[in-house]
Structure 1
Amino acid sequence: MANQRKNEDKQKYYIPMEVKKDTIITPEYENAPRQWSKIGNRMVRTILIPATKEQYGAYMQPEWKEDKRQQRLAEKRKKREKAQEEHRGDKSVQGWDTPVSYEQLAEMEYGFTDEYGEDSPEEIVVKEEFINDLHQALSLLQGVNRQIVDLILDGYSEAAIGKKVGRSQKTVNNRKKKIYEFLRNHLKDYRNY
C-alpha cells in the first residue's frame, strides 16, 4: 500500500497543449518535443506541459465528461440503428439525432409538399428565401455569439462550448437562448409556412 502511494507520488502528470500556427509558446517550451495526443475526440499535435495531479484532474475532467457523453450517444445510436433494422417502417424508433433526408421529413409531414408529394414552385421559392434569410441572420451574429453557433452546429455540448469560448455553461445557455430568440424574430415571417 505504501509502495503504491510512493508510485502515485512519483507519477508525473502532463496537460496536452494543442500546437497550431498561431499558438504562442513560451521560451521554456520552444524545444519541447511535439507529439500526437487525443484532446476530446480529436487527435492533435501537442506539447506536454508538466502539471500537478490536481491541475491535471481539473483540466481533464470536462474532457472526460464530454468523451463519456459521446460514448453514450454512440451507444444510443447503435441501439436505435439495431431497432430500426428490426422495425424497418416504424418511425417511432427514430431519435433527435437520427439523420433523415428531406423526403423522409416530407413523409412525416414536416416538409412543404403538395397533395402529390412534390414541392410547388411557390414553396420552392419560399424555401430558398428562407435559407437566404437564415444565412443573412446568421451573418449578423458576431464574436462569441458566432463562435457559439458554429460550435453548436459542430455538435459540441454547452459545457464544451463554454470551455472553448471562455465562458460558463450557464452563460452559454443564456446566450444560446438569446441567439434563438434573435433568429425567431428575424425569421418570424416564415412561421405560417
Structure 2
Amino acid sequence: MSKANLLDRRAVVAQLLKDRNGAIAVGGLGASTYDIAAAGDHDRNLYLWGAMGGAVMIGLGLALAQPSLPVVVITGDGEMLMGMGSLATVGLQRPANLSIVVLDNEAYGETGGQVSHTAASADLVGVAKACGIKDSRAISTMAEVEAFASSLQDVTTGPRFASAKIDGANLERVLSSRDGTYIVNRIRGSFGHTPI
C-alpha cells in the first residue's frame, strides 16, 4: 500500500469507539493507548502502559469474564508480534464478544521506529485465520473501518480480528490516568463491583 493510502490512526480509533455503548476498550502499549484516550476517556477504557504483548490476553480475560459485554482490543503491530501466541488461545477459546484491531504502521513506534516484520513477511491476518479466528480481515479504507466498527457490539459472532494499515505520524500524546489501581477500580465500578 502506498504511503498516500494509509489510514489516519486517530480517525480509525475514533470511528471504532464512536458508538461504543458499554464496550470495554483495551489499549495496547503506547500509541494505541494514546489514541483511545484521544477518542475520549471512558470508565471502560483499560490503558496498558507497559504490558507489551499482553493486550490480547487481557482482552480475552475480560471477554470471558464479561460475556454479555463487547470487548475491543486496540493495539499495534509491534505488540501483536510480541504476543502472537495469544491469537492461538483466542482461536481455541472463541469468545463471541471479543474484537481485536491492530493498528499497523509497520514500525516499532515505542522503541525508535525500527521497521517491524509486518513491513516484509509477517501476515497478521493470515496468522489470526490460521489460529482459528475465522472473521479476520485487512482494513484499508474508512468504509471498511465503519463496517468493522458496526460489528463490535455483536457479542454472538466473534471473535473477530482486523489489521488496519495506518500512517506513521508521531502524534501528540493524549495522557489519561497512569494509576493502575484507579483504572481497574473504575472499570470494576462500571460493572457494579466494589473497588479492590
What TM-score results when the alignment is normalised by the length of structure 1? 0.22
Bigger relative contact order (CA 8 A; separation at least 6): 2
**Structure 1 or 2: more strand by fraction:** 2
Structure with max Cα Rg = 1
**Structure 1 or 2: more helix by fraction:** 1
